[in-house]
Amino acid sequence: MSWIDAVRQRFRDLLAGERADRDLDEEIAHHIELETERQIRDGLDPAAARAMAHVRFGNRTLISDAARAERGPHLMEGSVQDLSWALRSLRKNAGFTALALVTLVLGIGASTVAFSVFNTVLLRPLPYRDADRLVYIRERNAKGDFRPPSFPNFASWREETRSFAGVAAAMYPYSRTVSASGDAEPERVPVLEVTHGFFSTLGVAPAIGREFTDAEHAPGRPRVAMVSYEFWQNRMAARRPLGTIRLGDAPTPVVGVLPRGFRFFQPADVYLPHEGNPGTVRSSHNYQVIARLKPSATLNAARAEMSAISRALYAAYGTETEATDADVRPLREFVVANYRTLLSIVFGAAALVLLIACTNLVSAQLARGWHREREVVVRAALGASRTRIARQLFLESSLLVGIGTAVAMLAAFGAINAIRVIGGNLVPRLSELSLDARVLEFSIGVALLTAIVVGVYPALRLARRDACQVLRAGRGGTSVRSSVWRALVGFEVALAVMLVIGSALLVRTLRNILSAETGFDSHGIVTAAITPQESDVARFDAVAAGLRAIPGVEGVAFASNLPLQWGAWSGPVRRPSDPKDRDWPAMAGFRVVSPEYFSVLRQPVLRGRAFTTGDRPGAPGVAIITTGIAEKLWPGQDPIGKSIATNYLFNDWLTVVGVVAEASNWSMPHGTQNEIYVPLAQREANVGQQIIALLRTEGRPTAVMTATRAKLREIIPHSPAQIGTIDERIAKSAADRRFAMIALTAFGIIAIVLAAVGIYGVMWYIVSTRTHEIGIRMALGATAARVGRDVLSNAAAMAAIGVGIGLAGGAYAARYLRTSLYGVSQLDPSAYLFGAAATLTVAILAAYVPAWRSSRVDPMEAIRDT
């Protein structure tokens, strides 16, 4: 028994309709027999007795119907029949069914996946308790720029505000060397320092143990730590009690484990109380501040209050802080703000794919309807009502959509799991991706809509056929008007063109980002972030010598942070003539680098000199600045030899010895950031906890990366290194575009495939309805090539209309992409040309098989066949 039979049997058993019919028939037959026998006993002859029995029984059909009506509504029973009919019909046309299912799975699957991404990232509340009460607070300066707050400003806010049930901060995560137990190999893991009440403000309770107490935040207390669930499972072997981990050199008791999957923007493995040694500079920008609104407080009231507090702070500390105002916005808005547009575009693209799928199904149903016309009119002639026929046809397409949806959901489930694993670090919150009730509702809604769109028009059209007309017309019946085909195919092609244009624009954007002019040569630079301990600082030379000995390494330099990595290390710079007040002439990033830095990165020194080994402790303090600072502070003058100070160095005066071009970063609004470089030998104290070794390599960096790891383990065994490449970082910084590009390209390919299937189907249909006509033309002397060419040009004409519309639609829709593009105009002609050419080519290829078939028509057979 095939599975379809099994399904049918199941339905029969469930509803038992047919068995009840058989019972009734048998019962009535028995009744008539008994009555006939009685009439014979009463003296009638058998024939008369039987007639009498029938008379006494009454109208058998009416009574059967009445009895059946007592059993339950007609609808169910008819539906069982219709359902088995629909299943049979779908099975009979396996080719059509398979193609339709593929179309449905692609269409519904794509939109389900896109919606679940949209839902997870943009619609679902953050995974914290009452997350809609959480806000994110930043400083705002006089220019209107948003900045992360400094600790003193955060502390003032926390003290003075009355709008919030809790205000807390975290630093930006950094990495530290941790070993989970005495004998475990140390490794570098991300660490997040938080202020007291951070977790309770977020609304996250530890899975095990407790949050930090206020006492543990007090200065001078020995440190304690909390760890992530994943760290506790993988590194601490899920041990209880939690015991102690080794943080750098210091044994640190673990007091709590966070819930599985917890993250605050980025995942961290170790959480530390911060306030034992908080930041003291009011003008720095290195905290992320969250707060929870009191039940009685509104967002607007909180905004007004925070603004007032910040203005008062500026009045009091204006020389120390540049913050003139505070920006308060819902945390969720902050988390996903950059992704709203891109994800909406991805979602829109999925909707286009679904539209194409529906169009395909409608045209396939219409084309198939032509082959079925005779079947339908014969049924009608035999007494089937029009509603019954329409209902059957509608049921058939609904069944198709139902099966397609079920398969699509399975496919979507797989795709969602894959996206969560691959994309979890590309787009915030994607690690939470899952199917939930809302996604299911959406998909069921989409399926219902699809069933209606796909089922209603073809069903009504077919059911309304006039039997006489169709039967008289012989095989072929009445064909769908060619304008309908033109519209359907054109529509599909137009949508496909739009998607291809979008994906081409994003592909170019990504390529531009990856090859963007950075001001130095990033290709082949391997980076190793290491955390030397006090004793190692003297061993930089040893580290450099060791790394330089690795085959393939051409040069080694050190820097306090990675090139193109901005963030906490920026502050004001000034000339001796500038007053120490709020009007900073320029802001600059601050970097401590070794003498080889510029030569290793191949960042040209435009004026003056690079650092040398002569710039050592005791020698005059020197600095190298970027052209942007030079132009701001000393326009039209030679900056070499001038004095400059930055508040990071407690206003030590430095002599400018060189000028370099800015290293630019595509993600900066203006492309570049000013930098002030100081020599490592003079500023070891300012390096911070980690230092980056930069290795210039020849050839593939992977071998060097492995060798670097081994070498560093040998030189500084207790301090594992984080190894990567700059190109990798640049690629990662474009992750959002990459995600959108992959999605749009995938949808673009699906769209083209679906459009090709649609064109193929329509052309096949047109050729089969015209076999007779083609036969006559060939009999009259048209060559096979001529006939085939006509079919192709017919397809090309339909596609061309669609391409025209698609180009216009693409230009309209590309406006929404504008902010996501880089180095390419939203009206970039090559993208449009590509979209048009690709789609047109595929359209003509798709028409090729039907065209070939038309050229193979045997005129004799075609004419005789009718």
Partner 1 sequence: MERSGDLLPGTFDMLVLKAVSLGDMHGWGIADRIEQLSDGVCAIQQGAVYPVLQRLLRRGWVVAQWKASDNNRRARYYRLTASGRRQLADEIGWWRRSIAGVDRVLSAKPSEA
Q: Choose between 29 and 606: whose C-beta lies nearer to partner 1.
A: 29
In angstroms, give the least distance from the CB of 32 to partner 1: 8
Question: For residues 802 and 492, is the Cβ–Cβ distance under 8 A?
Answer: yes
Q: Choose between 13 and 441: whose C-beta lies nearer to partner 1.
A: 13
Stretch near partner 1 under the rule CB under 8 A, chosen from 63-71, 581-589, 623-631, 778-786: 63-71
In angstroms, give the least distance from the CB of 25 to partner 1: 11
Question: For residues 211 and 203, is the Cβ–Cβ distance under 8 A?
Answer: no
| Structure-token pair, residue 794 | 């017919």
Closest C-alpha to 116, from 439, 408, 420, 418: 439
Q: Is 567 helix (H, G, I), strand (E, B) or coil?
A: coil
Question: How far is the C-alpha of 136 from the C-alpha of 146, rounded, in Å?
Answer: 12
Q: Choose between 62 and 437: whose C-beta lies nearer to partner 1.
A: 62
Q: Choose between 69 and 444: whose C-beta lies nearer to partner 1.
A: 69
Encoded amino acid at 592, one letter: V
Please state, as a whole number, how many other Cβ atoms lie within 10 Å of the Cβ of residue 764: 19
In angstroms, give the least distance from the CB of 64 to partner 1: 8
Q: Is 812 in the site for partner 1 (CB under 8 A)?
A: no
Q: How far is CA 92 from the centre of its chain?
A: 40
Tell which one of 15, 40, 44, 67 touches partner 1 (CB under 8 A).
Answer: 67
Tell which one of 14, 16, 51, 66 touches partner 1 (CB under 8 A).
Answer: 66
In angstroms, give the least distance from the CB of 20 to partner 1: 8
The residues with which 607 forms a beta bridge, in sequence order, are 659
Q: Choose between 34 and 421: whose C-beta lies nearer to partner 1.
A: 34
Please state, as a whole number, how many other Cβ atoms lie within 10 Å of the Cβ of residue 108: 28
Tell which one of 11, 12, 15, 68 touches partner 1 (CB under 8 A).
Answer: 68
The full DSSP string for 636-652 is: TS--TT-EEEEGGGTT-
In angstroms, give the least distance from the CB of 133 to partner 1: 55
Q: Choose between 71 and 461: whose C-beta lies nearer to partner 1.
A: 71
Q: Choose between 63 and 785: whose C-beta lies nearer to partner 1.
A: 63
Phi, psi for residue 528 in degrees, rounded to 5: -135, 115
Residues 317-336 that bind partner 1 (CB under 8 A): none
Q: Is 653 in the site for partner 1 (CB under 8 A)?
A: no
Q: Is 533 in the site for partner 1 (CB under 8 A)?
A: no
Tell which one of 63, 378, 410, 668 touches partner 1 (CB under 8 A).
Answer: 63
Q: Choose between 59 and 385: whose C-beta lies nearer to partner 1.
A: 59
In angstroms, give the least distance from the CB of 10 to partner 1: 22
Q: Choose between 40 and 122: whose C-beta lies nearer to partner 1.
A: 40
Stretch near partner 1 under the rule CB under 8 A, chosen from 64-72, 429-437, 525-533, 749-757: 64-72
Q: How many residues bind partner 1 (CB under 8 A)?
A: 25
Tell which one of 2, 3, 41, 70 touches partner 1 (CB under 8 A).
Answer: 70
Angle subtended at Cα 470 by Cα 464 and Cα 473, rounded to the nearest 5 degrees = 155
Question: For residues 507 and 823, is the Cβ–Cβ distance under 8 A?
Answer: no
Q: Is 144 helix (H, G, I), strand (E, B) or coil?
A: coil
Question: How far is the C-alpha of 701 from the C-alpha of 703, rounded, in Å?
Answer: 6
Stretch near partner 1 under the rule CB under 8 A, chosen from 66-74, 252-260, 341-349, 705-713: 66-74
In angstroms, give the least distance from the CB of 385 to partner 1: 24
Tokens 């969250």 sit at which residue? 290
Angle of helix 94-118 versus helix 340-381 axis, rounded to 10: 150
Question: For residues 273 and 196, is the Cβ–Cβ distance under 8 A?
Answer: yes
Q: Choose between 70 and 249: whose C-beta lies nearer to partner 1.
A: 70
In angstroms, give the least distance from the CB of 63 to partner 1: 4
Long-range contacts of 798-801 (CB under 8 A, 24+ apart): 798/485, 798/486, 798/489, 798/490, 798/493, 798/759, 798/762, 798/843, 799/489, 799/490, 799/493, 799/759, 799/839, 799/840, 799/843, 799/844, 800/840, 801/486, 801/490, 801/493
Tell which one of 71, 129, 511, 713 touches partner 1 (CB under 8 A).
Answer: 71
In angstroms, give the least distance from the CB of 21 to partner 1: 12
Q: Is 316 in the site for partner 1 (CB under 8 A)?
A: no
Torsion of CA 754, 759, 762, 765, to 10 degrees: -110
Q: Choose between 66 and 537: whose C-beta lies nearer to partner 1.
A: 66
What string marks each residue from 816 to 855 as x (binds partner 1 by CB under 8 A) or -? ----------------------------------------
CA quadruple 376, 381, 382, 387: dihedral positive or negative? positive
Torsion of CA 453, 454, 456, 462, to 10 degrees: 150
Question: For residues 584 and 572, is the Cβ–Cβ distance under 8 A?
Answer: yes
Question: How far is the C-alpha of 147 from the C-alpha of 324, rounded, in Å?
Answer: 11
Q: Choose between 55 and 142: whose C-beta lies nearer to partner 1.
A: 55
In angstroms, give the least distance from the CB of 75 to partner 1: 16
| Structure-token pair, residue 808 | 């216009």
Q: Choose between 65 and 130: whose C-beta lies nearer to partner 1.
A: 65
Question: How far is the C-alpha of 760 from the C-alpha of 747, rounded, in Å?
Answer: 20
Please state, as a whole number, how many other Cβ atoms lie within 10 Å of the Cβ of residue 537: 13
What string marks each residue from 41 to 60 as x (binds partner 1 by CB under 8 A) or -? ---------------xxxxx
In angstroms, give the least distance from the CB of 30 to partner 1: 6
Q: Choose between 61 and 535: whose C-beta lies nearer to partner 1.
A: 61
Question: How far is the C-alpha of 394 from the C-alpha of 291, rounded, in Å?
Answer: 55
Question: For residues 832 and 501, is the Cβ–Cβ distance under 8 A?
Answer: yes
Tokens 């935040």 sit at which residue? 217
Q: Choose between 74 and 475: whose C-beta lies nearer to partner 1.
A: 74
Closest C-alpha to 195, from 89, 291, 318: 291
Q: Is 299 in the site for partner 1 (CB under 8 A)?
A: no
In angstroms, give the least distance from the CB of 83 to partner 1: 23
- Three-state secondary structure readout of 693-733: EEEEECCCHHHHHHHHHHHHHHHCCCCCCEEEEHHHHHHHH
Using alpha carbons, list the distances in angstroms from residue 513 to 26, 66, 397, 672, 823: 81, 76, 46, 14, 8
Closest C-alpha to 639, from 608, 673, 663: 608
| Structure-token pair, residue 788 | 């085939």
Q: Choose between 26 and 858: whose C-beta lies nearer to partner 1.
A: 26
Q: Choose between 21 and 727: whose C-beta lies nearer to partner 1.
A: 21
Q: Which segments of 86-158 are extended strands (E)?
A: 134-141, 146-147
In angstroms, give the least distance from the CB of 67 to partner 1: 5
Tell which one of 4, 9, 72, 304 touches partner 1 (CB under 8 A).
Answer: 72
| Structure-token pair, residue 833 | 């040309």
In angstroms, give the least distance from the CB of 74 to partner 1: 14
Q: Choose between 64 and 686: whose C-beta lies nearer to partner 1.
A: 64
Encoded amino acid at 600, one letter: V
All residues at 6 or more sequence positions from 670 whose CB lies less than 8 Å from its CB, including other chains: none
In angstroms, give the least distance from the CB of 29 to partner 1: 10
Residues 21-40 that bind partner 1 (CB under 8 A): 23-24, 26-28, 30-31, 33-35, 38
Q: Is 125 in the site for partner 1 (CB under 8 A)?
A: no
In angstroms, give the least distance from the CB of 52 to partner 1: 11
Residues 210-269 that bind partner 1 (CB under 8 A): none
Burial class of 249 by CB neighbour count within 10 A (0 to 12, 13 to 18, 19+): exposed
Which residues of this protein are in contact with partner 1, per CB under 8 A? 23-24, 26-28, 30-31, 33-35, 38, 56-60, 63-64, 66-72
